[in-house]
Amino acid sequence: MNFDKLIDYFKLDKQEFYFQFNSHPNYPSALAFSDTLNFMGLQNDAYELDKEYWEELPEEFMALVDQSFSLVKKKGNTYTIYSDKIKNLTKDELYQQSGDFVFLFEKSETVKSTAFFNIQPFIYIVFGIILLYSLLQFAWYETVFNLLSLAGVYISLELFNQKFGNESAIVSNICGGTSNVQSQSSCSKIFSSDKTDILGLKLSDFSLIYFLGISMLGLLFPGTQFLLKIITLISIAVIIYSLYIQTFVEKSLCRVCLVIILILLSQIAVSALYFSWNPSTAVIFISAVLFSALFLTVAFINNTLKQYEELKKSNAKNLRFKRNYDLFKRELLDREKIEFTDQSTFFVGNQNAKLHLSIVSNPYCGFCKGAHTIMEDLLKKYPDDISAQIRFNFSQKSDEKQTQLMSDFFHIYKNRSQKEFLTTVDSWFENRDENAIREISQSATPEDLNPILAMSAENNEAGINFTPVFLLNGYQFPEKYDREDIYYFISELIEDEDFSA
């Protein structure tokens, strides 16, 4: 399934979306789609609604159009559909092509993303610097030649990136955009028909090596004009081969291929008319080393990315089992339920919540910070459905600093709001500054810590000595799962009537 236009509209992280969707245990169902959107920060609910009630739907909703999950935007009597492509339908056409399932959504401010760095602005800056350098250092025809090389590098990079599931806007626009599906399929047909395979590299990969090589030669070695002239003439053979494949074998023209051919022809014309002929053995040797290095580098990156894609697909399939709620619940209920007597000390959240989270923690535990972050995040997202209790491990043998810290925590908990208490705990795990907590507390007398000592004793009696530990409605979080996996099961845990607090 292709959700590119839908993902672009909501500005979601494309790779993360597809990974979460493909790894969902119910892939490729409506539940998997809905859960993935919820995980990405786009809160939604699914309904089965007869068409007679669709007039009452908001101006934006999601539905199954042509068996594809799509965003539907109402504009008067016309509906714009975002799925694998963007199209406009009348009301009758929409009703005919849609099922009864609709998804009503509410976009939150925070959208999950795993993209650490957007490389495109960096590429534009580098290209701009190179262009400015060419204008200042070279003759106009050398600048034109270098500019054409950079254009070839950019298009070739987009083609290389597209091989690994990342749709390229520039390639899509050249191949016809959303309005010309025939042109797009022609491009795809030509690329898929490429039988070249040298260390895993296709003809489009050699285009990247070619343009990178001549760009470096044109910029760094002014004395290579004679060699650039020879290289561009050799490219005529590639042009003839490409046109032969498009015209006589596949019988369809690839627009992006034609753009690359136009760049090559322009470089042939510039080099033939203006480049000088001053052969140099040293230049030939340096160029051979450069192209060999580029070939090996691109081949290595290509094979590494292929392995990464294969591992990612395999991981997604394995995660379908790990994220299966029935398997998780079975593992969760496999241990004996722990009943704590004290369920009021350091209690936060809704008293009547269906799901109760207990976190056994230690203020001086380095791993507890992440567990507290998860707990606070869940309380923010599900304020009406989740309650929590922080069960600090503490004993009378603790030193003066820890005793004072517990007293300050207890004072803040009893005399301030739950939000202030959680903020204080968060501040502690962030900075580990007893004086800062003391200043927040402003307590004149030590608190009675017997409730905390009793709570800690209960933890020990239950065999919970290591921290942090999560308990869900008294059941210890399975060791086979990571704490972060709770995000994938939280909705089902809340909705599970057989698993109520």
- Residue 192 is predicted with a pLDDT of 66
Burial (CB count <10 Å: 0-12, 13-18, 19+), residue 145? buried
Q: Domain-by-domain residue ranges, the chain? A: 4-107, 120-308, 336-499
- Residue 342 is predicted with a pLDDT of 86
Query: In degrees, to the nearest 5, what angle opens at C-alpha 344 toward C-alphas 342 and 350?
Result: 135
User: What token pair was written down for 377?
Assistant: 């995040």
- Residue 174 is predicted with a pLDDT of 76
Q: How far are the Cα atoms of 24, 34, 138, 147, 308 from residue 144, in angstroms, in the given order?
A: 50, 50, 10, 5, 38
Rounded CA separation 64/100 (Å):
8
The two beta strands, 60-65 and 475-476, are: unpaired
Contact criterion met (CB below 8 Å) for 353 and 386: yes
Rounded CA separation 304/295 (Å):
14
Give the closest residue to 310 by CA, choosing from 298, 300, 322, 318: 318
Helix or strand (DSSP H, E) at 103: strand 98-107
4-107 placed in CATH 3.90.70.10: yes
- Residue 110 is predicted with a pLDDT of 44
12-43 burial: b if 16+ Cβ within 10 Å, else e: bbbbbbbbbbbbbbebeebebbbbbbbbbbbe
Phi-psi map region of 251: left, alpha, beta (phi>0 left; psi -120 to 50 alpha):
left
Helix (H, G, I), strand (E, B) or coil at 109: coil
All residues at 6 or more sequence positions from 400 whose CB lies less than 8 Å from its CB, including other chains: none
State the DSSP code for 177: T
Burial (CB count <10 Å: 0-12, 13-18, 19+), residue 205? buried
Contact criterion met (CB below 8 Å) for 68 and 34: no
Cis ω on the peptide bond leading into residue 28 (within 30° of 0)?
A: yes
End-to-end CA gap in the chain: 39
State the DSSP code for 248: I
Give the closest residue to 33 by CA, choosing from 7, 51, 59, 66: 7
120-308 placed in CATH 3.40.462.20: no
Tokens 């000595």 belong to which residue? 465
Secondary structure, 3-state, 11-73: CCCHHHHHHHHHCCCCCCCHHHHHHHHHHCCEEEEEEECCHHHHHHCCCEEEEEECCEEEEEE
State the pTM of this model.
0.59
Amino acid letter, 117 = F
336-499 placed in CATH 3.40.30.10: yes
Give the closest residue to 485 by CA, choosing from 37, 23, 34, 115: 23
Q: What is the pLDDT along the chain (501 residues), one digit of tens a residue?
A: 667 777 877 888 777 888 888 888 878 888 888 888 888 878 888 888 888 888 888 888 888 888 888 889 888 778 888 877 778 888 888 888 888 888 888 765 444 444 444 566 777 787 788 888 888 888 899 999 999 999 999 898 888 887 776 666 677 777 765 444 444 456 766 766 666 777 778 888 899 999 999 999 988 887 888 999 999 999 999 899 888 888 888 788 888 889 999 999 999 999 999 998 888 888 889 899 999 999 999 999 999 988 988 887 788 777 778 788 899 999 999 989 998 988 889 999 998 898 999 999 988 888 899 999 999 999 998 999 999 999 998 887 778 888 999 999 999 999 999 999 999 999 999 988 999 999 999 988 889 999 999 999 999 998 888 889 999 999 999 988 988 999 889 888 998 888 865
The two beta strands, 86-90 and 68-75, are: unpaired
HSE, CB side, 13 Å, CA atoms: give it for residue 76.
2
Rounded CA separation 348/344 (Å):
9
Rounded CA separation 493/495 (Å):
6
